[in-house]
Structures are given as C-alpha cells and as structure tokens.
Structure 1
Amino acid sequence: MTFYELIWRGEGCGDAADLEEALAFFQELKPKTMDWQAVCADPQYSPTIRRYRSFEAFLDNEDEVETIHPTAELLQRFAPDGPDA
C-alpha cells in the first residue's frame, strides 16, 4: 500500500494514505493570513509530498517513488471553503 510523507518548511510533518488525504492535511498548516499562491511562492513553506511504495519502504529508508510539489491550484481545491478560500 502506498505511503505519503508530508513535508512543510523542510521538515516531516505528517503522513497520509492517499494523495487526497495529503492535500487536505496541508489545509491545517496554511497560515490563515495567506492564500495558496503566496504560500507556494514562499520558499520557506514549500509544501512537498514524498510518495513511497509502502510504509515498510519508508521505514527501511528506501528512496521515494516520486516527489510531488503541489501547485497552489491543486491545494486550493482542498480548501475547506472551496476554490475561493
């Protein structure tokens, strides 16, 4: 089963079982005073998702299968208030 590690400000901050859960998790971290365009443009935040083939692969320090840098538009889709949040 695929495993997703979530990175925020260069540090691991959580995990998820699927991409949708990972994108929803970032909603809790976004500063309330910023929109996703500003967050994604600021290198200090750099929301990143690392996908591993399994949780065991993650624990065994295997390389990730892919690294995902979600766009502001993708993150905005999962905002609690919809696209205009």
Structure 2
Amino acid sequence: MSADAKTPLDHVNATLSQLKEMRHYSKNYVEQLTAQWLLFDGELKKLAQAQRIEELMTRQGELYDALDKEIAELEEVAVSLQPAAEDAPAALH
C-alpha cells in the first residue's frame, strides 16, 4: 500500500473529525441563539417573530442530536476497524 493510500479506518477517523467539528460549532450556535432568544424574547413576540426563532432552535438542536448519534455510531465502526490485539506488540511484565 502506498503512503498516500488511506485505509477504511483513516476514512472513518477523518469523517469523525469533521463531524466532531460540526458538533462543536453546532453547540456554539445553539448556545448563541438561545442567549439571543433570552435577551429578545419579549421583543420578538411583539414583532411576531418568536415562532420562527423557536423553530430554528428546535432544528439546530435536532442537528446537534443527530451529529451525536452519528459520531457514536462511527466511533463503534472505528473500534471494529482497529488492528487485532495480536498485531500489537506484547506487553512487558
């Protein structure tokens, strides 16, 4: 195998890295949106915009939950792709 060829484990780990980054940003966006919501809840209701923001918060939360689920599943795949223990050097006593 050439140095540039990626194994299935490499691909899974790269995808995991990207999903974890997305989750990080998603969490930050949910927190920012929630903070804005708390600051302007009354004003948004007066402007008849509260429902739209609530829907966005719900969707953003669903995305965060879906990312968590996919990360957990891919982490299990990554574990299954790890080289067998017999391939690792024996522990010294």
TM-score, reference length from structure 2: 0.22
If asked which structure has higher relative contact order (CA below 8 Å, sep 6+), I would say 2
Instruction: From the two aligned structures, give the one with the greater helix fraction.
Output: 2
Tell me which protein shows more strand as a share of its residues.
1
